[in-house]
Amino acid sequence: MAKRVLVTGGAGFIGSHLCERLLKEKSEVLCVDNFFTGSRANVLGLMDNPNFELLRHDVTFPLYVEVDEIYNLACPASPIYYQRDPVQTTKTSILGAINMLGLAKRLRVPILQTSTSEVYGDPDVHPQTEDYRGRVSITGPRACYDEGKRCAETLFFDYQRQHQLPIRVARIFNTYGPNMHPQDGRVVSNFIIQALTNQPITLYGDGSQTRSFCYVEDMVEGLVRLMACETASMPINLGNPVELTVEELAMRIVALCNSRSAVTYRPLPQDDPTQRCPDIGQARERLRWSPKVNLDDGLMRTIAYFETRLSGASPLLSLSMRAAS
């Protein structure tokens, strides 16, 4: 009998890829999204699958369904969107966790929380290991997301201790690939759109801050393996340990797009971390997982996706192009 799997935030960037992967594994998928940042377009290709169901719902309200597993991805992850309504962002992280944990408790099913590398803040330990407690501002503009995710992790482990609930917690580092929102403000999507349209590449600060980038196909593989791991009793970092500067990323994208874009520099946003790179030793040991897609291959697939979007002259991309000009 096929598993019935609930994916909250399933019409988002990572969620849509996860839904597709689960369907390929012959699971029945209930995709839940309120479409604040998710898009029906991301799951349009799944709608004809009889094992796929799409439900518009906000996880800050309880949900009463019958499922065998829960992946809780619901929360805006882009600073542009989570800072637009910071109170709602905090509510989504905390109330969403409470509601999904309550559902998992009632059904006695495993539940996976997608946490974030943002729980480490602007780290003074590098690369970041799961036992590092972070250096996070609780009053800054990113706190609604950072602290919301930290509190959600606390709730998950309290439910594990108090109710013996089978939980999994993934700390996701920078992820990229098709279905990224063209206006999400993340460096990969920003740089690709600017490069494809020969607009100036916008670098914040001097471009020396470092990041590591994991292709979405690899990230989904990590999430699926983590859900299947019954011994994952601690948060697990999922990301690519290959680190590069933001400036290096910009130059690589310009070259891959054969672009004429020049680089412009703007002030670094408040609380923007200077370093971000995962230690994935736990993922390698417990999940037998590490990223397979190299950066250039992943970027080329992502560039091809945005080229298709540009050729379709979608309203979202048109707005993004005007904003960049």
* More confident call, 136 vs 154: 154
Boundaries of domain holding 193:
178-211+242-274+294-324
User: Is 108 a member of any domain?
Assistant: yes
Q: Is the pLDDT of residue 46 over 50?
A: yes
Return the bridge partners of 259, or none: none
User: Is 159 a member of any domain?
Assistant: yes
Residues 202 and 105 in one domain: no
Return the bridge partners of 116, or none: 172
Residues 170 and 300 in one domain: no
Burial of 10 per CB tally in 10 Å (0-12, 13-18, 19+): buried
Known catalytic residues are 145
Q: Is the dihedral of CA 152, 231, 14, 44 positive or negative?
A: negative
User: Is 280 a member of any domain?
Assistant: no
Output the pLDDT for position 80: 84
User: Is 287 a member of any domain?
Assistant: no
State the alpha helices, DSSP H only, in 4-46.
Answer: 13-24, 40-43
Looking at 152-156, 205-209, 257-261, which range is the least confident one?
Answer: 205-209
* More confident call, 322 vs 125: 125
User: Is 65 a member of any domain?
Assistant: yes
Percent of the chain with pLDDT over 70: 96
User: Is 253 a member of any domain?
Assistant: yes
Residues 151 and 29 in one domain: yes
Q: How far apart are alpha carbons 232 and 1 in whole angstroms?
A: 25
Residues 185 and 128 in one domain: no
CATH assignment of the domain containing 250: 3.90.25.10
Digit-coded pLDDT (tens) for 8-41? 999 999 999 999 999 999 999 999 999 999 999 9
User: Is 25 a member of any domain?
Assistant: yes
Residues 206 and 151 in one domain: no
User: Is 62 a member of any domain?
Assistant: yes
Residues 146 and 218 in one domain: yes
Q: Is the pLDDT of residue 244 over 60?
A: yes
With contact defined as beta carbons under 8 Å apart, do 227 and 219 qualify?
A: no
Mean pLDDT, the chain, rounded, equals 93
Q: Which of 90, 293, 77, 315 is nearest to 182 (CA)?
A: 315
Cβ-based neighbours of 39, under 8 Å, separated by 6 or more: 11, 12, 181
> Exposure string (b/e) for 165-189, b if CB count within 10 Å is 16 or more?
bbbbbbbbbbbbbbbbbbbbebbbb
Residues 318 and 171 in one domain: no
Cβ-based neighbours of 176, under 8 Å, separated by 6 or more: 186, 188, 189, 213, 214, 215, 216, 298, 299, 302
Digit-coded pLDDT (tens) for 66-75? 999 999 999 9
Residues 69 and 170 in one domain: yes
Looking at 111-115, 231-235, 282-286, 297-301, which range is the least confident one?
Answer: 231-235
CATH assignment of the domain containing 134: 3.40.50.720
The answer to whether the peptide bond before residue 50 is cis (omega within 30 degrees of 0) is no
Residues 118 and 162 in one domain: yes
Mean pLDDT: which of 146-160, 200-214, 270-284 is highest?
146-160
Digit-coded pLDDT (tens) for 248-300? 999 999 999 999 999 999 888 887 788 889 999 999 999 999 999 999 999 99
Residues 138 and 93 in one domain: yes
Mean pLDDT value across residues 66-89:
92
Residues 74 and 192 in one domain: no
Q: How many structural domains does the chain have?
A: 2
3-class DSSP state for residue 218? helix
Residues 191 and 131 in one domain: no
